[in-house]
C-alpha cells in the first residue's frame, strides 16, 4: 500500500510501500480521487494496517472503479487476474487473516498460487521495472522511501520493484523485511507493530522499533561487518520461517539473499514480546 506520512518536524516525508498488488492500487486510487491524507490514514490504520477484509474495503472498491483509467496504477496490471471481482471474492470469503492466528488453508493456497502465477507472467519483470521508475520519479529531494516486505513478498528478490529501486538510488530508502516466527501467514503481531509510529520517525531507528514493538530487530549491515557474521547468519536463516511460501530449498536460498540485500530484518515474536536476540 502507499501511504504518505509527514514526520513530526516536517523535515522528511516517509513513504511506505507494501508490495501487495491490490492494496497499492486501492490507496493510489484514493489519492487520485482527491482523498485527504487523513481520510486515507483513518481507513488504512483502522484495522492493523490492512484495509483488506474489513467493511471499509467494500467502499474502497468504488474509488478503484472510478480511477482505473489505465492499465497501471502502482501495483496493478491489466493483464493480471487481479480484478475487482476477484478482490470482492476475497472479501466475501471473510478471510480471518487480519488479526487472526492461522488463515483458512484454501485461502492461503490460493494466495500462494496467485503469487506463482504473477511471477511466471512474462510481463511481471517489465511491470515491476516500470513501477520502480514511477516511484523514483515521484520522489522529491529530502524524501525517504521505506519499503516493507513480508512473507510471500520476501521470495520475490531480484524482480520486485523494491530491489529495482535499489539499482536506481541505493541510498534513498531503507529496505526492510518483516518475518513472523510461528509459520502463520499472518501473525497477531502484525497488529501490535505500530507501523505508523515507526514510519513517522525522521531517522529510522532499529532501537526505536526494538523498544516500542513486539519484534526482534536485526541490523543486517552490522552483522555483515562483524567477525561473528557466520553465527548470526545461521541463526537468522533458521529463524526466517514464514509458512509454506518459503518452506522449500529455494526458500532457504532466498533467506540467504536477505542477508545480502536487506538493511534490517524485523521478526515478530507472537509469544514473547519482551524477548530480544542477544549475542
In a domain, 274, yes or no: no
In a domain, 28, yes or no: yes
In a domain, 277, yes or no: no
Answer yes or no: are the C-beta atoms of 4 and 35 closer than 8 Å: no
In a domain, 279, yes or no: no
In a domain, 63, yes or no: yes
In a domain, 278, yes or no: no
Domain extent, residue 36, equals 2-268
Confidence (pLDDT) at 275: 30
Answer yes or no: are the C-beta atoms of 119 and 156 closer than 8 Å: yes
Q: pTM of the predicted model, to two decimals?
A: 0.33
pLDDT string in tens for the chain (279-residue length): 222 222 222 222 222 223 333 344 444 444 555 555 445 444 443 333 333 333 333 334 333 333 333 332 333 333 333 333 444 444 444 333 333 333 334 433 443 344 444 444 445 455 555 555 555 555 555 444 444 444 334 333 344 444 455 555 555 555 555 554 433 323 223 333 344 433 333 233 444 444 554 455 566 666 666 676 676 666 655 544 333 233 344 444 455 555 555 566 655 444 333 233 222
Confidence (pLDDT) at 234: 65
Domain count, the chain: 1
Confidence (pLDDT) at 146: 42
Confidence (pLDDT) at 103: 37
Answer yes or no: are the C-beta atoms of 99 and 46 closer than 8 Å: no
Confidence (pLDDT) at 184: 31
H or E element in which residue 1 lies: none
| Residue whose cell numbers read 513530526 | 8
In a domain, 34, yes or no: yes
**CA 24 to chain centroid:** 10
Confidence (pLDDT) at 153: 40
Cell of 262: 536487506
**Dihedral over alpha carbons 112, 114, 120, 121 (to 10 degrees):** -160
Amino acid at each position: 500500500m502507499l501511504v504518505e506520512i509527514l514526520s513530526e518536524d516536517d523535515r522528511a516525508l516517509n513513504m511506505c510501500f507494501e508490495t501487495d498488488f491490490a492494496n497499492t492500487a486501492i490507496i493510489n486510487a484514493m489519492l487520485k480521487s482527491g482523498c485527504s491524507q487523513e481520510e486515507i490514514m483513518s481507513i488504512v490504520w483502522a484495522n492493523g494496517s490492512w484495509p483488506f477484509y474489513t467493511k471499509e474495503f467494500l467502499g474502497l472498491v468504488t474509488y478503484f472503479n472510478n480511477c482505473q483509467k489505465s492499465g497501471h496504477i502502482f501495483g496493478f496490471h491489466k493483464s493480471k487476474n487481479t480484478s475487482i471481482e476477484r478482490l470482492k471474492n476475497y472479501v466475501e470469503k471473510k478471510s480471518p487473516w487480519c488479526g487472526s492466528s492461522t488463515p483458512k488453508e484454501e485461502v492461503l493456497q490460493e494466495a500462494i498460487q496467485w503469487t506463482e502465477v504473477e511471477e511466471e507472467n512474462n510481463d511481471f519483470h517489465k511491470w515491476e521495472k516500470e513501477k520502480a521508475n514511477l516511484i523514483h520519479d515521484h520522489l522529491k529531494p529530502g524524501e525517504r522511501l521505506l519499503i516493507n516486505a513480508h512473507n510471500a513478498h520476501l521470495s520475490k528478490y531480484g524482480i520486485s520493484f523494491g530491489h529495482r529501486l535499489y539499482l536506481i538510488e541505493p541510498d534513498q530508502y531503507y529496505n526492510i523485511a518483516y518475518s513472523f516466527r510461528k509459520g502463520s501467514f499472518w501473525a497477531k503481531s502484525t497488529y501490535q507493530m505500530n507501523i505508523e509510529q515507526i514510519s513517522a520517525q525522521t531517522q529510522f531507528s532499529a532501537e526505536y522499533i526494538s523498544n516500542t514493538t513486539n519484534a526482534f530487530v536485526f541490523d543486517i549491515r552490522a552483522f555483515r561487518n562483524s567477525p561473528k557474521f557466520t553465527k548470526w547468519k545461521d541463526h537468522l536463516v533458521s529463524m526466517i520461517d514464514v509458512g509454506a511460501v518459503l518452506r522449500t530449498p529455494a526458500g532457504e536460498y532466498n533467506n540467504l539473499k536477505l542477508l545480502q540485500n536487506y538493511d534490517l530484518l524485523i521478526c515478530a515474536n507472537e509469544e514473547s514480546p519482551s524477548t530480544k536476540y542477544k549475542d
